[in-house]
Each structure stands twice: as structure tokens, then as C-alpha cells.
Amino acid sequence: LNLVSRIIDRHFRSIAGELHVGELPVTALATEYGTPLFVYDRAVVDYKLEVLRGALPPEFTVSYSVKANPNGRILRHFVARGCGLEVASAGEFCRALSTGCSPEKILFAGPGKTEAELEYVLFRDIGEIHIESLVEAKRIAEICRRLHRRASVAIRVNPGGEVQGGAMRMGGKSAPFGFDEEVLDVVLDSLMSEGELELCGIHLFTGTQILDHNLLICQYLKGLEIARWFAARLNRPIKTVDLGGGLGIPYFDNDRELDSGSLRASLAAIMVEVRKESCFSGTQFIIEPGRFLVGEAGIYIARVNDIKVSRGKKFVILDGGMNHHLAASGNLGQVIKRNFPVTVVNKLDHRQTEVVDLVGPLCTPLDTLARNVKIPAVSIGDLIGVFQSGAYGRTSSPSGFLSHPVPGEVWIDNGKATLVQARGRYTDFSGGE
Ligand SMILES: Cc1ncc(COP(=O)(O)O)c(C=O)c1O
């Protein structure tokens, strides 16, 4: 089975050749909410959260990484399921608060936090800030003095070369994220001199889209080693160990799924030892994934608006493209463009007889959602579905480019669809100066 069929078999349904998401036919969704459209299936989000939680020992909590998909309905769902949220800006912090997340369950990581952002989140009692530089540490301490409060902080570490492995090179290289492992000793001296900083823990996040559980385990072991050093230097147990996100999902036919069973077995074995160590007494371990939790739950649906042939090549022109889904166009996180899983979602029972390029409406050859893809013969009005589109979709895309309105977003829960982001309109761009 190719990846599209595997995804449909696992999460969705094909009835009379038509894709059904949470029991709802995709043509009805497209008619009711218009295209282009992102649809998210609650059942898939829950399934992925269950798989992840099933792999994690009881000392672990999940903090959903808001940047993967910041839609308020999705955030609210994770908060209701007992997750924390990981944010990377004051804007994401506001989104998190507005979904009812209590501030102590929010972590703030990411380089370049401004003074205004730090003051905003500190004033509102954020749970933990992950320090990325000494400048940032001094800013936080200064704001705390002004506000007469202390800040719970973790040190983000850019680990040394031995965490490298597999296809993805991780850590050990120059990066604007966190402190190089080699200088941690000096950094900690400096942080300990700031009385306003409560040094809670360490944080590692060194790569995204990891499908090899061995690589994740290798990273986790490195995190534990750094955590031991941290606890020894502070002469007390470490409160929090954030081992990052980065768990991948399959995008291409040859991608193997992350082996959650092996991840569970390895983590369980590691924790047998960890539980014996006094430095980990009462420690809260955190995983902060985005893509793994929401990627598979989302489908981008665009309608065929034109079909043409140029010098023997067929182009199927859709009503949306890289302006809504940069990742599928290969311009986000890919060096050589490969096709996301795509098909004609109202013709699932048709034979795949054509090789075409699926392109968006932008005036650039970069706006190609799929190149030389084999699909059933298409007609104008057919619906193209791009699967694995729940993470790094709408808000990771240059939606202002060419001033096409932003697509709507629909949340599907047990056969009930709710519009959770209205489509934009042409008139959004009129008026003003
Ligand atoms: C600090 C941090 N945490 C978590 C994530 C989420 O990564 P993923 O979606 O790969 O799990 C990111 C992604 O860039 C990140 O920078």
C-alpha cells in the first residue's frame, strides 16, 4: 500500500470512492465551508496523544508545541486532555492563556525573546522560561527585580557532537539555540549569581521530524547526562528535564513510522535506573512535540480550478498552494522537493492513470504542491487532498503573498464539523492606508 492508502485505512474512510473524515464526506465539507480548507479530525489527535502517552513512563508530561498548529480549538483540546503548552513568543503565550491554560503549565522557549515579551509573561506568572543566552538571563533577572518576583528557568543546552546520528545531524554544531554544552560550567556560574532566577532544570531540543527511535533515545540519554551534571553542580535534585519534541510522522512512501513500542521499551528500561538516582527524586520529565500530535490529523483540501498542458506536461491548477501550505510545496524543511501524500479525494476508487503537476495559483514555479504525481484523471471541480497537513500548515506559510484570502479551518469531532477559523475574504485587503 502506498502512504495515502495507509493513512486513509488507519484514520479515515473511503465510502463510494469519497474520502470521509470523522464520518463526514469531504465534498460536503468543501461545499459548506469553501475551499481551500484545512480539516482536522479530533479522533486522530486523540489517537496520537494516546500512542505517545502509551510510550512515556508515568514521570513524563506532554507539553504541546503551539507553533505546530496554534488554532485555538486545538490548543483547548490539548489543555482539556491535561497537556501543558510550549510557546515561542508572547503571541503564542496569549493564545495559550486565551484557551484557558493556566500560566504555570506554559513553557517559553526560543531565541530572541524581547524585553517586552519577557515582562509580559513574567507579569502573568509563566511556568518556566528556557534561557537561550546570557543576555536573556540578565534581562529576565532585571525584569524580576523590577516586578519583585522570581522566575523559574531552565537552561537550554546545545549538546556536543556525540548526539549526532542517523540522517539528521543534531547538536554539536553552531546554532542560535541554547548554550553550547562545552561552556555550561561557566554559564551556570553566571546564572547562579542572579538571585532572581530559580534554576529548575535543563532543556534539549535538537531536531525535528525524527523517525528513528534510537536517535530519540540517544538524545534523551544525553539529556539525562546533562541533568545529572546540573543536579550535582546545584547539589540538589533537578526539578524539570525537558527532552524536547521532534518526533516525526511519515510524509513519503518509504518513510517508516516511528516505532512507539521500541520507544516505550527503551524509555521504560532507562527509567528503572533513573528512579534509583537521588538527583532525579521528584523530577518532572517533559516532552514537547508538535508535529507528531497534530500532523496526521489534518488534511489540506483544494479544488481543481484549471487544467492545462504545456509542452506535453499536464498542470492541474488548484485554488490554493504554497501560500497556504509551504511545507507541501517543498520550501519548508526539504532540500530536494518530494511529494506529500496527495490524491483526488472524491475519486478514491478511480484508477491512477495520469501523471501531473499539482500547482497553486501563485506566479512562481515554487508554487508546486506535487510534481509528476500519479493520480486518477481529474476534472475541473475535483478536490485534491494533501494528507499529513495538520502541523506546520496554514500559519507556517506565506499567506500574505499575492493577497489570496487565508483558508478556513474546520474541526471535526464525532461527526460534527465546526468552523474554527473563518476563511478570509478579498475585502480583507481593501481599505486602510
Ligand atoms: C523548542 C521547540 N520545541 C518543540 C518544537 C516542536 O517540534 P516538533 O513539531 O518537531 O515536535 C520545536 C520546533 O521547532 C521547538 O523549536
**Secondary structure (3-state) at 357:** strand
Task: Classify residue 210 by its DSSP letter.
Answer: B
Residue whose CA is at the smallest distance from ligand 1 atom 13: 208
Expressed in angstroms and rounded, the spacing between residue 289 Cα and the centre of ligand 1 is 6
- Whole-number pLDDT of residue 169: 53
Q: What interhelical angle do 72-80 and 90-98 show, nearest 10?
A: 60
The cell numbers describing 304, all together, are 481543481
Q: Which atom of ligand 1 is nearest to the CA of 110?
A: 1
The cell numbers describing 45, all together, are 489527535
Residues lining ligand 1, CB < 6 A? Answer: 65, 67-68, 86, 109, 205, 208, 244-247, 288-292, 391
Expressed in angstroms and rounded, the spacing between residue 19 Cα and the centre of ligand 1 is 30
**Secondary structure (3-state) at 407:** coil
The cell numbers describing 409, all together, are 479551518
Expressed in angstroms and rounded, the spacing between residue 244 Cα and the centre of ligand 1 is 7
Expressed in angstroms and rounded, the spacing between residue 325 Cα and the centre of ligand 1 is 18
388 contacts 296 by C-beta, under 8 angstroms = yes
Distances (CA, A) of 240 to 52, 223, 227, 276, 416: 19, 11, 9, 17, 39
Expressed in angstroms and rounded, the spacing between residue 4 Cα and the centre of ligand 1 is 25
Task: Classify residue 21 by its DSSP letter.
Answer: E
| Rounded distance between C-alpha atoms, residue 403 and residue 212, angstroms | 40
Minimum mean pLDDT range among 91-105, 151-165, 259-273: 151-165
DSSP letters along 265-284, please?
Answer: HHHHHHHHHHTT-GGGTTPE
- Whole-number pLDDT of residue 165: 45
Q: What is the dihedral of CA 201, 207, 211, 214, to 10 degrees?
A: -50
170 contacts 123 by C-beta, under 8 angstroms = no
The radius of gyration of the chain from alpha carbons, rounded to an integer in Å, stands at 23
pLDDT band for 163, please (50, 70, 90 cuts).
Answer: low
| Rounded distance between C-alpha atoms, residue 431 and residue 427, angstroms | 8
Expressed in angstroms and rounded, the spacing between residue 287 Cα and the centre of ligand 1 is 10
Q: Is the pLDDT of residue 164 over 70?
A: no
Dihedral sign, Cα of residue 253, residue 258, residue 259, residue 261: negative
Task: Outline where 175-212 has alpha helix (H).
Answer: 184-192
Q: Let me know the angle formed at the C-alpha of 322 by 321 and 328, rounded to the nearest 5 degrees.
A: 95
Q: Is the pLDDT of residue 297 over 70?
A: yes
- Whole-number pLDDT of residue 309: 98
Region 359-372 average pLDDT: 97
| Rounded distance between C-alpha atoms, residue 2 and residue 250, angstroms | 11
| Rounded distance between C-alpha atoms, residue 166 and residue 209, angstroms | 12
Expressed in angstroms and rounded, the spacing between residue 290 Cα and the centre of ligand 1 is 6
Q: What percent of the chain has pLDDT over 70?
A: 97
Helix (H) or strand (E) holding 48: helix 42-55
Region 129-158 average pLDDT: 97
Ligand 1 pocket test: pick from 69, 108, 208, 212 the residue with the most ligand atoms within 8 Å of its Cβ: 208
Q: Which atom of ligand 1 is nearest to the CA of 392?
A: 9
Minimum mean pLDDT range among 152-156, 235-239, 331-335, 348-352: 331-335
Q: Is the pLDDT of residue 241 over 90?
A: yes
Q: Which atom of ligand 1 is nearest to the CA of 246?
A: 10
**Secondary structure (3-state) at 354:** strand
